[in-house]
Amino acid sequence: MVEREKNVSVLKGIPFEINEASLGESLSIRAGSEEEAAFKELVEKARETANPKAIYRTCFVDSVNGDEVTIDGVRFESRLLSKKLHSVGRVFPFVITSGRELYEYPLDRADFLKIFLWDSLLEHVLHEAAGFMRREISRNNLIENLVWMSPGSGDAEIWPLQQQKELFSLIGNVKEEIGVELKESLLMIPTKSISGIAFRSEKDYRSCMVCRRVNCHYRSAPYDEKLRNSLE
């Protein structure tokens, strides 16, 4: 379901798929094992319970000045964000979540296997929701290549996590609309949530390209030293 008001779009009940075989293989779950039985049980619970959501707003860049970007009167500081939005007019600040339904689902916190498997399922549902939102924005705005940046993603100096507050203020009633709360620690609840600014780009971009961290489970693109050095 899509709700639209004042350039804000809310996506609820986002459709998702869980390919049990593929996800189980990625988690190294052995056929006929105790882990497989627990995994199958949790997959069914996730399918019954999950209600991933997203909210995004259509905004325009007011100005780009040095390392500062102003969007609808809200100022952000990031050399890379400034670089990426220098010739971009329209942007889409967003928050995506796997949903409180999964986050608050009662599990035995002492059962570390189920906690691990459930966490992996939440991550998968979040990934599915992110893909749906990307396609939704692209289709509705005739954008062929939509990329995004997130505060705190990659190395901290790329775009400080502290600017989550400005991002949430730019979007509006995030907690009321999709149940995502930004704590004073800057942690989002539910924890399986993503925030950022999406925009049109001729070239692909992912935060991983400028992140020096190695052996990261969530890495989706190789480190680009040339791009990183351009920010020094």
**Residues 122-156: tens digit of each pLDDT:** 999 999 999 999 999 999 999 989 999 999 876 66
As a whole number, mean pLDDT of residues 71-97 equals 92
- pLDDT at residue 223 is higher than 80: no
pLDDT band at 203 (very low <50, low <70, confident <90, very high): low
In sequence order, what are the beta bridge partners of 71? 61, 74
pTM, whole model, 2 decimals? 0.86
Dihedral sign from CA coordinates of 208, 215, 95, 140? positive
Residue 219's pLDDT band (boundaries 50, 70, 90)? low
The owner of tokens 């790329």 is: 158
> For residues 106 and 97, is the Cβ–Cβ distance under 8 A?
no
Taking only Cα atoms into account, the Rg of the chain, rounded to an integer number of angstroms, comes to: 18
What burial letters (b/e) apply to 17-47, b meaning 16+ CB within 10 Å? ebeeeebbeeeebeeeeebeebbeebbebbe
Integer Cα distance of 51 and 163 in angstroms: 27
Nearest in space to 152 (alpha carbons), one of 207, 191, 225: 207
**For residue 232, what pLDDT band results from cuts at 50, 70 and 90?**
very low
User: What distance in Å separates the CA atoms of residue 229 and residue 195, rounded to the nearest whole number?
Assistant: 25
Compute the average pLDDT of residues 99-122. 93
CA-based torsion, 191, 52, 220, 69: positive or negative? negative
The answer for residues whose C-beta is within 8 angstroms of residue 48's C-beta and 6 or more apart is none
- How many Å apart are CA 172 and CA 21, to the nearest integer? 39
Whole-number pLDDT of residue 122: 96
